[in-house]
Structure 1
């Protein structure tokens, strides 16, 4: 790869970095607004990453495509990735709706692995979006992959990823079955925590209603003579 090609690839990756900055800012604003208005933030934390040049080349080769900047931008949609970790499944879908309602965000693909988990038990909501970034002399539209999941889902996915790369495609059946069973437990844990949150909200609401009721007025005793 000559110097000109290196510069072109660096420029491409810079655009993806700016797109990540844009998405991160949007998420921060939405989270802080809800914290201010409703005293509740649905997003626990956000992780971002840009695929390395080596990773891009490897993926192009796996797809049987020529290694070029043009093919990378056209056929690889997860060069820029954002992982949004939420407390509850309801928060996942709330953040999803907030993202897709943004006027400059175009959702070009979505896969709901929460309602329809993968065979191995993996759960997450995946979006591919396209957003504009405004540079000094031009506007570019860049694709970004967003993964939305709960804390429990992220815990499982992170450990499954580490275990998978110990075996690659030769993972023993017993371990696959155990991972699937653990994923099912994670799903039940998320549902249980959501029910607990709903109970807490009902309890808080009832306490609030009681506090709004007018205090009972004690009858005035006649003054003693």
Structure 2
């Protein structure tokens, strides 16, 4: 609740329930962790094909990482919530990322919390390097999976 109040104040959103409902789109969130980068995109494609899921916004931090190395797909969707007397449509933020991305984000979050957002420069450099290594790991694992698929494919002849 505290972070919601801070976001309302920071964004200048009117502090009413209807305004918050319409303007603050990450009150509810779901994190989906996949094994491979291609699976993250597949999950988003699959969800966007659902007739009751409206994709409102996509921020692709996998293709375009944040300057600190953060990578993830952020997707704002609008979903129906069925109540006893009506249906409410609510915004939900989906964060779809690989295991390596999630591990990196977890450590980054812990460091920022421990250092009260004043992380020493040398640790920030370590985080940036770790983001690069995590990205390389995701690429390597994807290539290994592709190789396994190629070996499993029926061979003509």
Task: Note whether the superposition's TM-score is higher than 0.5.
Answer: yes
The 5 Å alignment of 1:83-98 reads: 83-98=31-46
The CA distance in 2 between the partners of 1:111 and 1:160, in whole Å, is 19
Instruction: Identify the match of residue 163 of structure 1 among 101, 108, 111.
Output: 111
| Whole-angstrom CA distance in 2 between matches of 1:67 and 1:159 | 33
Structure 1 unmatched ranges of 5 or more: 1-52, 214-225
Answer yes or no: is the 8 Å Cα contact 2:40–2:96 preserved in 1.
yes
Q: After the TM superposition, which of the residue ranges 60-69 and 159-168 deviates more from structure 2? A: 60-69
Matches within 5 A, 1:40-79: 53-79=1-27
How far apart are residue 133 of structure 1 and its match? Answer: 2.0
Aligned-residue offset at 1:104: 1.4
Greater shift in the superposed pair: 167-176 or 104-113: 167-176
Shift of 1:151: 0.5
Structure 2 CA distance, aligned partners of 1:166 and 1:118? 21
- Match among 61, 69, 80 for residue 113 of structure 1: 61
* Unaligned residue ranges in structure 2 (runs of 5+): none
- What do residues 23-81 of structure 1 show as CA deviations (whole Å, max 9, x unaligned)? xxxxxxxxxxxxxxxxxxxxxxxxxxxxxx23322221233445332232122111110
If asked which structure has higher relative contact order (CA below 8 Å, sep 6+), I would say: 2
Aligned to 1:145: 93
**RMSD, aligned CA:** 1.7
* In 2: Cα distance, 1:130 partner to 1:63 partner: 20
Q: Residues of 2 paired with 1:153 and 1:88: CA distance? A: 10
Of residues 200, 203, 208, the one that matches 2:148 is 200
How much has 1:103 moved relative to structure 2? Answer: 1.2
- In the superposition, the TM-score normalised over structure 1's length comes to 0.65
Asked if the contact 1:56–1:72 (Cα under 8 Å) also holds between the matched residues in 2, the reply is no
Q: How many residues align?
A: 157
Relative to its length, the structure with more helix (as a share) is: 1
